[in-house]
A and B are shown apart, each in its own frame.
Chain A
């Protein structure tokens, strides 16, 4: 485990379940572990239940024997099979029992294609997985985007089945999505220890706790660690929250280890305890401690040090999907850089060059990519769009309406943004400097204003820029203020400038952003991505930009006890 807590800055912070508001940087080894298992970001497995009505009857003496197959349409247009239902015999209104599992990925547009086949009687003893679909009668297909389903209040859609696009309908298909995580229970614990062993020569130990889940084969997976408390043999840590996704079940064995933090990364084990969540609950109820032990020369040595559970609270944690299917909206806003460093838009080497052949420039790519994902979460699809650093008729402006209307910044749909962008390029001349403060403040005003009429809106501002900002202090001040609002900011850097300065706005390094007046951001709301890092890469820039958004959204609503609409109605 030597490399597990390698850097001092990240290593000192709590991970996975702490209520400590700052820093919480997940250490790289654990992140790598979860990534390798596809668990990064918000992992949201869904089960799709399918049913159909008024299917076409293909059989002469009886009705059709339908089976449904789900595909995901990849970016290159190819279909990849995700799963199949069972065959239901002799029915034109089947309700399939087999659920098809798919992972919801917020940061991607997931195009689904459903195909229905009539399975010939002679194949009825063949396992569905080995059925050759070309041998079967085709009853029709339907398609939709997964986010269309999850944004519906009942998480259900009804789709028309067609044999070919543009042809008559052959019945309809109903799709219902459910989260497979049956329980959204979480427990909050406050842990403290007494009589820990002293491992440091000149001061006391600097203890932290790491909790791991035991997996098959005896290995253990770290699920959270507390912050480090310096120089203390009787430490009390900040509350940690563990979700059922992390610990699986109350009876599942966990390993609780207490380490003395060493900046070298070679933390010294002060003792371990094997206990389940149920066991921790007992410790809390009976107000007793349990002793740490170490393995010495093959036998177990019980130590004087003890672990106590001061608080054990069970609570419900609503998921991102609970909020967005319950009527929460993500409202999309765009700001585009009109500074001179982009180059004359009439020249092909300009970052703003609009290719008559229709190949989108970097700005258009970013708007389409992010907009395509976010538009499903914005019901009226009216998007405020601004430009900054350009010279309009009224002189240089650091926040002008992209549609050049005096009062109204909103445009309708992604086409509206694209149209306003190309019009603005023709009538606004590129100038400078590059200031972010005014557009962030404008977006913050809209977010702040929304609070007076709705608590179910969250705003996402996309800033696309080619250069380094000339107002780092104003920008930081604006971001720190905005951290108290329902707002996240995505920044895409285009072109080849040195974007080092931008990294400080993105609090991923673990440090909280501090304004010039000494106010400190209460959460990370910025995600910065340079576009050149993604050219030809495996991960799309849109995925990288949007990956943290569900977490940022949840940090806002959870800290304010804002519940999804269905839970608001219950209470």
Chain B
């Protein structure tokens, strides 16, 4: 991917803007999975990660972090994994759970449509472990908007997504 020039990338598959919102109800023994957890997204050969969650939100880490990655050119899926840093060390992380997200889950609607997607996470033995909440936008083949094509494989955090992230909560509010 490093050899891909900006021009070559423009003609390739669309860019995905993936906002990693949060995970819920993660567990791993007695370990507190609030602080130090992070999400990695793999799409074909590209990999991007969120920063580690810094707040002590126990087993409900909250990232609200926007990442950019190229959609895999062969179709299929993207892989989403939650891991936890050991002793605050980025290179020393333990995998907690993950999920394969099929591209067909966000392949309809116009470019830029916000797809709110949630998935049951599974550990390496296939046991359910929490839920991850994402918002995925396909930005079209030429990286429309302010997105800088050169940084696609790095993933960068932006300010928490907007004021009042209102993620579906009104549906559950009764007054």
Contacts and interface: CB of A to CB of B under 8 A. Distances in A.
Contacts, number: 138
Interface residues of A, number: 58
Nearest to B161: A561
Nearest to B120: A518
Contacts of B125: none
A457 to B, nearest CB: 13
Interface string B54-86: 011111101000000000000000000000000
Contact of B174 (A40, A315, A512, A559): A40
B172 A520 contact: no
Which 8 interchain pairs have the tightest Cβ spacing? A24-B172, A555-B171, A520-B118, A518-B120, A523-B171, A26-B174, A523-B168, A555-B170
A229 interface: yes
Nearest to B102: A517
Nearest to A524: B171
Contacts of B128: 518
A472 to B, nearest CB: 17
Interface of A: 15-26, 31, 34, 39-41, 43, 186, 188, 227, 229-232, 234-236, 238-239, 241, 313, 315, 448, 451-452, 481, 483-484, 512, 514, 518-525, 548, 551-552, 554-555, 558-561
B153 interface: no
Nearest to A16: B173
Interface stretch (B8-16, B104-112, B143-151): B104-112
22 contacts: A19-B165, A20-B60, A21-B167, A21-B172, A22-B172, A43-B175, A230-B58, A238-B60, A241-B164, A241-B169, A451-B108, A484-B117, A518-B99, A518-B120, A518-B128, A519-B120, A522-B116, A524-B171, A524-B172, A555-B172, A558-B166, A559-B116
Contact of B164 (A239, A481, A521, A522): A239
A451 B24 CA distance: 30
Nearest to B165: A19
B45 interface: no
Nearest to B174: A26
B167 A559 contact: yes
Interface string B154-167: 00000000111111
Contacts of B170: 551, 554-555, 558
A519 B58 contact: no
A518 B119 CA distance: 6
A241 B56 CA distance: 21
A521 B164 CA distance: 21
Contacts of A561: 114, 162
A522 B133 contact: yes
Nearest to A24: B172
A24 B169 contact: yes
B19 to A, nearest CB: 11
A186 B170 CA distance: 13
A208 to B, nearest CB: 12
Contacts of A523: 116, 168, 171-172
B97 to A, nearest CB: 11
A436 B166 CA distance: 30
Contacts of A552: 171
A451 B168 contact: no
A521 B120 CA distance: 10
Given A451-B113, A481-B105, A523-B171, A236 B118 contact: no
Contacts of B164: 19, 186, 188, 239, 241, 313, 315
A555 B110 contact: no
A555 B122 contact: no
B108 A519 contact: no
A65 B151 CA distance: 74
A24 B168 CA distance: 10
Contacts of A558: 166, 170
B139 interface: no
A484 B118 CA distance: 10
B131 interface: yes
**Which of B162, B163, B167, B173 gathers most chain A CB within 10 Å?**
B173
Given A24-B169, A551-B174, A559-B114, A448 B109 contact: yes
Contacts of B99: 518
**Which of A525, A551, A552, A555 gathers most chain B CB within 10 Å?**
A555
B24 A22 contact: yes
A523 B133 CA distance: 12
B114 A229 contact: no
A96 B167 CA distance: 43
Contacts of B24: 20, 22
Contact of B55 (A20, A41, A236): A236
A447 to B, nearest CB: 10
A19 B172 contact: no
B110 A451 contact: yes
A18 B170 CA distance: 9
Contacts of B162: 561
Given A18-B169, A19-B164, A551-B173, 17 more contacts: A23-B172, A26-B174, A34-B175, A39-B175, A41-B175, A234-B56, A238-B62, A241-B166, A451-B109, A481-B105, A484-B105, A484-B115, A522-B117, A523-B171, A554-B170, A558-B170, A561-B114
B169 A19 contact: yes
B99 to A, nearest CB: 6
A416 B167 CA distance: 38
Nearest to B24: A22
Contacts of B120: 514, 518-520
B110 A522 contact: no
A551 B172 CA distance: 8
Contact of A555 (B60, B105, B168): B168
B169 A555 contact: yes
Contacts of B109: 448, 451-452
Contacts of A519: 105, 117-120
A243 to B, nearest CB: 10
B43 to A, nearest CB: 18
**Which of A25, A26, A238 gathers most chain B CB within 10 Å?**
A238
B35 to A, nearest CB: 10
Contacts of A554: 170-171
Contacts of A239: 164-165
**Which of B57, B60, B119, B172 gathers most chain A CB within 10 Å?**
B172
A231 B58 contact: yes
Contacts of A41: 174-175
A521 B166 contact: no
